Every structure is written in C-alpha cells, then in structure tokens.
Copies of this chain bind each other. A is one copy, B any other.
Amino acid sequence: MSQHTLPALSELEQYLHSKTDDIDFSVLKSSLAAAAAAPDRPDNDDILDHILPDAPNELRILLIKARNSLRQSILSAVHAPEKSQDRLNSLRQEMHSQTIDGFIVPLNDEFHGEAAPAASERLKWLTGFTGSAGMATVLADKAAIFVDGRYTLQVRQEVNTDLFTPRHVSDEPLSNWLNDNMKPGQSLAYDPWLHTESNINMLSKMAKQLEISLVAVDKNPIDEIWTDRPPEPLALVVPHSDVFSGETSAAKRERIAALLIETGQNASVHTLPDVNAWLLNLRGADLPSTPFALGFSILHKDSTVDLYMPTEKLSADLIPHLGNAVRVHDRQEFESGLKAMSGKRVQIDPAVTSQWIVSQLENAGAHITRADDPCMLPKATKNKTEIDGTRTAHIRDGAAITKFLHWLSVETPSGDIDELTAERKLRSFRELGDNFKDLSFSTISGAGPNGAIVHYRATPESNRKLEVGNLYLVDSGGQYLDGTTDITRTVAIGTPTDEMKERFTLVLKGHIALAQATFPTGTSGSQLDALARLPLWSRGLDYDHGTGHGVGSYLSVHEGPQRISKMPSTVALQPGMILSNEPGYYKTGEYGIRIENLVTVVPSPRINGAERDVMAFETLTFAPIDQNAIDIDLLDSSEKDWLNSYHQSVWDKISPLVDGDVKDWLKTVTAAL
C-alpha cells in the first residue's frame, strides 16, 4: 500500500483539517515519514513532541498511529523479495546507462557501524537478504551474493538464487567469481560512501590482479532507481548527562585534541556513531537497540568540533549542552567542511572512513595521516563513573533476570511457555528497572534445537515450547542510562541428560578459567581466548564464535577495539574495558549452551613477590547459574570455590531487590555446592 493511501494518515489529515489551518500537512507528513524511518524504540515517540509540541492527547495518538502505519509501509516496501527480479532489471538498466559493467552492493551504510537505517538497506531491498553481514555484486548477466558461514542456509531461504548465486565469502571469494565472470578491461563500480579506504585498498589490489578497472560512481545506481526510498531517520538527539558519562565533552575533546597535537595533526574526522556519541556526550535513537545519532564530526586541534547532523533532530537542551565549541551543520555542508582542510594535516582511520571522505581530503590537498580513531581506546577504557554506573545497572538487570528465571522455574513445568512468551516476559521485568531505555539487542530466546542456532531470533514460525527435558538458552541485554548489559543463561527444563550436564560443565569450566585469569600489562584478548575453550578442546569440542566482545557504556553492546577471540589482536586489555565472557557449546538439532557474564578489566590486587603489573577480570553480571545442569565431579576445588563465591555475591547483591517467593527461590539456587 503506498503511503498516500494509508488510512491512519487520512484520519490524521482530517482531524487536523477540522481543528486548525496552521499546520502544513505535507511538511508534517514528511517529518512523520522520517520519524517512521527510525526504529521502533520506547523513546522514539519523543520526536513527535519535538515535531508538534504540546499536541493534545487525541492528536498525539493519531500521530503515533500515522507514524506506525508509515513505518509498516516503509518496512514492507524495503523488504520485498518478490520484487527482486524487477529491481535487479532496473539496476542493470541504470548500470548500463552509467556505462559500468559491475556494481558492488554492500550491506553497510556510510557510517560503517553494525546496523544501518532503512534508507541504507540497499542489499535487503535488492535481494531480500536480512542477515547482518553480506554483499552482492551485480554484472550485466550474472549476480552473486556473498555471505559468511552463519548465513549460508538463510541466504537460500531468503534470496532468489536464480537471480543471485549464493557464495561463501571466504571459501568462494569475490575475486574468484569476478575472475570467472569479468573480462580484463571491464569496469567494476562502487559507491565511495559505502566502502572504507581499507576496503578499497583491498578491492584495488584484486582489480589490478584481474586487470579490471575499479571505479567510484558519482551517484549510487540503486538510489537512482529506488523511487520510494525511505527518508533518513528522524529521532531525537539528547544530551548524555555528565552524571553518567563521568567526563564532560569539553574534557574529552581536549584530551583527544592533545593526542592530535602530539603527532602534529590539525584535525581528525570521526564517522563511527559510537565515537561521536562518546566524544560529544550525546545519544540518539536512529538505530535499533543502540542510542546512536548518525552524523559526522571534525575535531580540530583547538578542541572545537564541527558536527554534521540535521539540526531538526536536536533536542532543545542539546544545544546548550554542546556549547559554543561545537558547531552544528547540516550534513550537506560536510563536503565544504572537508574542503576547508586544504593544506592541513588530517587524521582518519582507514578501517572506518569512507573512501569518499578520503578522496575529498585528497582533492582538497589535505595531508592525510592514517591511524586508529584516537577516540576508540579512551571510549573503551571507562572511567570510574561509567564503571560504577555499569555495576549498578547490572544489579538492576540481574534482579530482572532473577525474577525471570524464577518465573521460568514456576511456569515451565506446565510445558505451555514458548520462546516468544518468555522473551516478552523477560522484557517486562527489565522495563521495571530504573534508567531502562531499551533492550541492547534482539533477545535470543531459544528452546531445545533453537538454542543451537547461535544468532537465533524467535519468530511466530520458529517459536517452540520450553519442553521438559530440554535446555533453554536466553541471551539478552538492556540499555540503561548508566550502563549496557548483556547476559546469557542456559536453563535445564526438568532433568538434563548426562551429556547435557557434561557439556554445560565444560562450558562453565571455560567461563571460570577466564574469569579467574590474571595476566600482565600488554596482554590481548586473543592470548586469553584458549583458556575458555581448553576444557571443551580436551574432549574434541569447540564453539564457532568469539569468547568475548567489548561492551559500551550506554552505547553499543558490541564495541572495539577490545575482544577475546581466536582472531589475532594486538589490542592490550586495559583497566576500565568491559568485555563479555561467553563460552558456549552447540549441538545442532538438539540444544545450545552458553554462559555469559560481562567483566571489566581491573588492576589485580598486589600479589606477594610479583614483579609485573598484572590485571584481572571483575565480573559485573549477577544472576544464578543453573546448578541443576552441573556435573559436580568435573569441577576441581578451585572451580567450585569460584562458583560458590560467585553465587554468594549474587545473593548479596540481588536479594535486596527481590522478595517473597523470588527471594526464597534465589536463596536455594545460590546455595553453595
């Protein structure tokens, strides 16, 4: 249904027509469409009060209805796999008229973050693919879609494989496919906004090897043919109080500017949404589950910032919060902002900066310095206020989880509870907590075999009952003003099998080994990853995901540069970093196990005779680990001590926040082994 025929819109228009002539409905409609292009979040009604202040309740309800209808309409227009053939035909016509032989369609947007708004879902629009990583390449007579191991099945369910040949991104890489399907001298085009400089460097090498020419398009051919492309999302951008950030934006800007001065830079360009949110102490609602406001910034060595972000998104109190040293411009002015860098030394991070930005700087005659974004490490190493905040947020979150686990213990014996019901119930417990803003990611609520799907998301079609004899895996988290949480618990419904207990205990041993580790300054997460896997490895088992990811402070639940994984890393773990500790085990078609707590890196208490500064992990997450699923014989005494001491802390911290049956239950499940 096209937007102009939506009943909720007509209803709104009629209502306004009957009340006033002061409102230009076409302007209101485009604001509402932009608001609808922002995700469904608890705080995204705030923008309506910003668009139309002081609306009576009656009108506000109509506005919300109209916005929701528009959102439905946007979502269904973007994800329409049945139109792939038509869309692909149009794209090829456009490519032909732009005289390009091939075009790359990545999944990401120009901010190169983890998620992208509807207007940037070009890959989904073209192919119908809904995964979180992928890329298509279109030639005049062939097209392919490249996905990683997580999505090799899903891509075949979602995408018309007559149109797009599915390929495994590393086993069957783009270069091989291009080698088979392109001729030397042909042109492969890309949108320079959608590729980082690092990515273009790789593609250039490949193109050189294949003797094809790699060309940047001026206008993305998809945008040229995407007639009902959604607007940029319109969601309110608000201050993030110093009470939670622990450091003013002015202090942060001075700190980073000092780093720039140290290496002789005049300025640095920042495109990552979490970097800009951290640097300027602001938060938005442009994307699901992460409080991001999309925009670009240029930080100058005098510690002032030019911020390129639509001014209509900014809440009234944001402007004074930003102060005079932050100049806000519309995004169209970014180009001239870059041009003004002529002759200056400008630092960019090639791994996250669009080739378009690099080209603008080069054309302007700026001297480019390539380095990691200087905000990344300061952002990752939280200050005392942030760590204290995250500690209290985790206790509230742990209380919600405890209530939920108790609820499960009461309700699941009936066999009537299903994944979606459980997921909703968990959310309702979280929503009761102070400072709760949103979930920090889509809850993974997987019963039995669904628990074995690492990135599972329950749908009405996949929804399973939590049956007795099964394991239930629930991975979830909250966004609180004072911290971001992420926790996984695996619960035995009824009595688990011996094998389930063995595997659960191996995963727990790995979790404990990592939680107990001490390590010297300079140690990276990749050096510690094996500690969490060794118990599984010793029995010929493993899990195919990282052991730990960085977590932000009321920011992204996935942040770098810290991580604990098999992937080599030179990023040293530092005090104040927050990471997950989440080993797992997955038996396809049967069950999944994951035990996840967040931890923060702390200087280790002084050890007698120590010669090096060593660090350790402080566990932040407090919720019971299911002792029914443990094979006690597999734990050594140090592991039992850890578990008992952990459960004692869970009791100490969570029991004051619960009462009655929940408290009684908590006493039982946190009792020493």
Contacts and interface: CB of A to CB of B under 8 A. Distances in A.
A537 B518 contact: yes
Interface string A502-519: 000000000000000111
A640 interface: no
A207 interface: no
A520 B543 CA distance: 11
A607 B540 contact: yes
Interface stretch (A315-323, A351-359, A610-618): A610-618
A540 B611 contact: yes
Contact of A566 (B527, B607, B614): B527
A534 B530 CA distance: 12
A609 B540 contact: yes
Contact of A526 (B517, B522, B527, B610): B527
Given A539-B607, A541-B612, A519 B526 contact: no
A204 to B, nearest CB: 14
A583 to B, nearest CB: 14
A626 interface: no
Nearest to A367: B209
B524 A537 contact: no
B530 A519 contact: yes
A568 B524 CA distance: 9
A527 B570 CA distance: 12
Interface string A155-194: 0000000000000000000000000000000000000000
A537 B566 contact: no
A528 B530 contact: yes
A542 interface: yes
Given A526-B568, A566-B527, A570-B568, A610 B534 contact: no
A529 interface: yes
Contacts of A530: 519, 523, 527-528, 530-531
A435 to B, nearest CB: 37
A97 interface: no
A198 interface: no
A241 interface: no
A524 B520 CA distance: 21
A529 B527 CA distance: 7
A538 interface: yes
A526 B530 CA distance: 10
Contacts of A369: 209
A541 B614 CA distance: 9
Contacts of A360: none
A537 B568 contact: no
A442 interface: no
Nearest to A539: B607
Contacts of A534: 517, 531
Given A527-B526, A530-B527, A534-B531, A609 B539 contact: yes
A529 B524 CA distance: 12
B537 A519 contact: yes
Nearest to A526: B568
Nearest to A208: B367
Interface in A483-511: 499
- List the 5 closest pairs (A to B, CB-CB), nearest first: A540-B610, A568-B568, A540-B607, A527-B530, A540-B614
Given A527-B529, A531-B531, 10 more contacts: A518-B537, A518-B538, A523-B566, A526-B527, A527-B530, A530-B531, A539-B610, A568-B568, A568-B569, A568-B570
20 contacts: A209-B369, A499-B609, A517-B534, A517-B537, A518-B538, A518-B540, A519-B537, A520-B537, A520-B542, A523-B566, A526-B526, A526-B568, A537-B614, A539-B610, A540-B607, A540-B609, A540-B610, A540-B614, A542-B611, A568-B569
